[in-house]
Amino acid sequence: MEDYGDDWIIQPVDNYGTPEMIRSVIRAEKIDILWFMTDPRFYEWLWVIENEIRAHVPMIYYHVWDNYPYPTFNTKWYKGNDCIAAISKVTDDIVKTLVPEVQSVYIPHAVDSEIFKPLNDHDRKAFRKQAYEVDDDTLILFWNNRNARRKQSGTLIYWFKEFLDKVGHDKAKLIMHTEPEDPHGQDLYAILRELKILDGTISISTTKMPPHMLSQLYAGADITINISDAEGFGLATLESLNCGTPIIVTMTGGLQEQVTDGEDNWFGMGIQPASRAIIGSQQVPWIYEDRISKEDFLECLTDLYEAGSEERRRLGSMGREHVLKSYNFKDFKKKWVDLMLDLHEKNGSWETRKNYQNWSLLEL
């Protein structure tokens, strides 16, 4: 961070900060814009004091929401921003529908194509032999997620076992890059012991690794899988496509805009939910939970397996072109720079603050 000098200050905090910390930083550093991101549940305390903040500086929220029905309970939080940047098309529609009066823009995640990229044939074969201990005839499935309930990690293991029973236990391997004993997920080792899959057919990778090494895992695999029942965007599948590896995903959240360009071009298999249950909590009263069926998953996996390596590489190559066109770092950086400059010019800060009033008239 030496390039930024005194303009880059890191202040470590627990969790997502506190009102006192925000008040202190805003006044001490006299910032121009307050930018924040992630689930609105973690920032209710921030919007409670938005009248203090927005009197001086504009607030921009980088937001993702997993699914419909429209979360009208978020409307009061959405209104507490000068601008909302939506990570997925689902989120963009939700924000524009619920708060059309608030400036909003669609800025999806992006991938650095200089890091996440395909391996040439020679390097790919060598990597597969060294890392996966397989030849080109073995199907390698890769799963890179947090081991959390909605990620369906245990479901994947059980279903993959059925796939092996069908095609042969020497025909495929599943690599799961995750924490097998995450307190918010399942005990994956216990599942492997129960299913008596202890021969390395399913391997769990727990080593933290730099992006260029993670890129090799994607590029060396044949298919990357994400069958979450809720997924705001799903960065792992985007990285996979950029490495030329096709994907199998649930048609939910941001995953559905990755696996197809919406113009009859597919970069793997998208599985429509077999059921949509309304679940929720005290903070999130309702949201769809999209579950796919075992039969649909096994059919898609079998189809890609039988399609052969050449067809899978073709789908992956098309997927990379899709990512380079729609989710590249160059456009991502330009959109953010342009948005920040426009937001500051239009709304100002401190002595130049405009287009904000901390009161409203209601007819009773």
Q: Measuring CA to CA, which residue among 295, 301, 300, 310 is closest to residue 164?
A: 301
**C-alpha–C-alpha distance, residues 298 and 304, integer Å:** 10
* Residue range 5-49, pLDDT digits in tens: 777 888 888 888 899 999 999 999 999 999 999 889 999 999 999
With cut-offs at 50, 70 and 90, classify the pLDDT of residue 279. very high
Q: pLDDT band at 205, cuts 50/70/90?
A: very high
For residue 319, the model assigns a pLDDT of 98
Report pLDDT digits (tens) over 300-340: 999 999 999 999 999 999 999 999 999 999 999 999 999 99
Q: How confident is the model at residue 104 (pLDDT cuts 50, 70, 90)?
A: very high
For range 192-199, the mean pLDDT: 94
Query: Which pLDDT belongs to residue 201?
Result: 95
pLDDT score of 358: 81
The CATH class, in words, for 121-326 is alpha beta
| Average pLDDT value over all residues in the chain | 95
Res 13: pLDDT: 84
Domain with CATH 3.40.50.2000 in the chain: 121-326
**pLDDT of 172 strictly over 60:** yes
User: What radius of gyration do the chain's Cα atoms show?
Assistant: 23
Contact between residue 223 and residue 142 where contact means Cβ atoms under 8 Å apart: yes
Give me the sign of the Cα torsion angle 126, 323, 114, 218.
Answer: negative
pTM: 0.93
Provide mean pLDDT across the span 197-207.
93
Exposure b/e, 164-191, CB count within 10 A at least 16 = b: beeeeeeebbbbbbbebebeebbebeeb
Q: Which CATH class is domain 9-110+328-352?
A: alpha beta
**271 DSSP β-pair partners:** 250
